[in-house]
Amino acid sequence: MKKHYFAGMAVLPLSLLATLTLLSGCGAKEEKKIKSDAVKVSILEIQNHGYSEELSFSGTIQAENSVQIGFSVPGTVQAVKVNEGQHVNAGQLLATIDETEYANALLIANAGLEQAEDLFNRLNGLYQKGSLPAKDFIDIKTKLAQAKANKNLSVKRVSDTKLYAPMSGIITAKSVERGAMAAPGVPAFTIIKTDLVYAQVTVPESEIGKVVKGQTAKVFVSTLNQELTGKIAIINPQADPVTKSYSVKVQLKNPGRKLLPGMITQTKISTGKSVEAITIPSTAVVRDADDITYVFVAASNQKVVRKRITASGVQGNDVIISDGLKQGDKVVVAGQTRLKDGSSVTM
């Protein structure tokens, strides 16, 4: 290769100069391409935070009281006064059965009682004068007592032909119709009392020691989009033999009767204790098609690592992490939807 010199300087041939320029341009393009592949993200360095411990459980609304009632005497149903879903008051007439047989039995009992009383009054005078043996007096006295008892039983049977509500509540089941046969011990109606209700939850053995009767609890009812405050009223001391968990009930007032049995609830119970925990914004958490939750953690080489996490609860807009992260980890909190394991990032 011949070199040309101008004013004491060597001049490279045009072909070599073009080649160097091309190589330089390719290097710049390659560097630009690498930079363009990096995803712009925001990160948050993990720190332990103290927070008020709060237990969270899913549950359902239950009625304060539920009773099944029916007739105590057999007979043909004559009338049904209420329907399912109807609110009834204590003492309200619900249904009746034909009382003809029982009314006639009462007439017979009254007649028998009158006869026994008349005989007793006549023989009692003789007994007082000593003209009647004690054995005969005791016999008539016994017959009088039996006649009174027979009348009282007949009065009760007539009364039992009418079925009244034992408490105020809502009819949730009606099992009788006009013309049907009623039998003792067979439920005719189911009534639930909903002036007060319970949010029932199941607490595992590991956490039941943190729950105390009288504690305040917040109950969110998603159906009504409403959060209510109540107190723990009942802690069942008997664990479920299979799950080893305990039933806990939070009592709630229900003045408008909007809370209905079966509604799904989310109950939060504050233990009053402060605990250290790792929390991250809920927006940093990614869930894949297999329902696995994970986050991306930025490494020192400007790449990210996908880490699976376990959440144990929420605190405001943050998620409490029980496993998968440690203090000092740099979690991607923005831009993570465009990442995969090993992606390059810029902050």
Q: What is the pLDDT of residues 233-278, one digit of tens each?
A: 999 999 999 999 999 999 999 988 899 999 999 999 988 777 777 8
Would you say 344 and 41 are in contact if contact means Cβ atoms under 8 Å apart? Answer: no
Report d(CA 182, CA 163) in Å as an integer.
11
Fold for the domain defined by 39-51+276-346: 2.40.420
Mean pLDDT for all residues in the chain:
86
CATH pick for 99-159 out of 1.10.287.470, 3.30.70.660, 3.40.50.970, 1.10.10.60:
1.10.287.470
Q: Span 57-64+193-274: which CATH code?
A: 2.40.30.170
Quickly count: other Cβ atoms within 10 Å of residue 180's Cβ: 13
**The CATH number of the domain covering residues in 71-98+161-187:** 2.40.50.100
Amino acid 61: pLDDT: 96
Q: Is the pLDDT of residue 212 over 80?
A: yes
CA distance 134 to 148: 21
pLDDT (average), residues 140-164: 95
Contact 221, 263 (CB under 8 A): yes
Q: Where are the domains of the chain?
A: 39-51+276-346, 57-64+193-274, 71-98+161-187, 99-159
Q: What is the mean pLDDT of residues 119-123?
A: 90
Handedness of CA 167, 172, 177, 182 (dihedral sign): negative
pTM: 0.62
- Tell me if domain 39-51+276-346 and domain 99-159 are identical in fold: no
Which band of pLDDT confidence, cut at 50, 70 and 90, is reported for residue 37? Answer: confident
Cβ atoms within 10 Å, residue 266: 16
Confidence at residue 66, expressed as pLDDT on a 0 to 100 scale = 93
The pLDDT of residue 36: 53
Q: Residue 266: its pLDDT value, please?
A: 95
Predicted confidence at residue 220, as pLDDT, reads 96
219 pLDDT more than 70: yes
Residue, of 78 and 323, whose pLDDT is higher: 78
> H or E stretch including 339?
none
Instruction: Compute the chain's Rg from CA coordinates.
Output: 42
Beta bridge partners of 126: none
**Confidence check: pLDDT of 17 > 60:** no
More confident residue, 327 or 190: 190
The alpha carbon of residue 86 and the mean position of all alpha carbons in its chain are separated, in whole angstroms, by 24
Cα 219 to Cα 245: distance, rounded to the nearest angstrom:
20
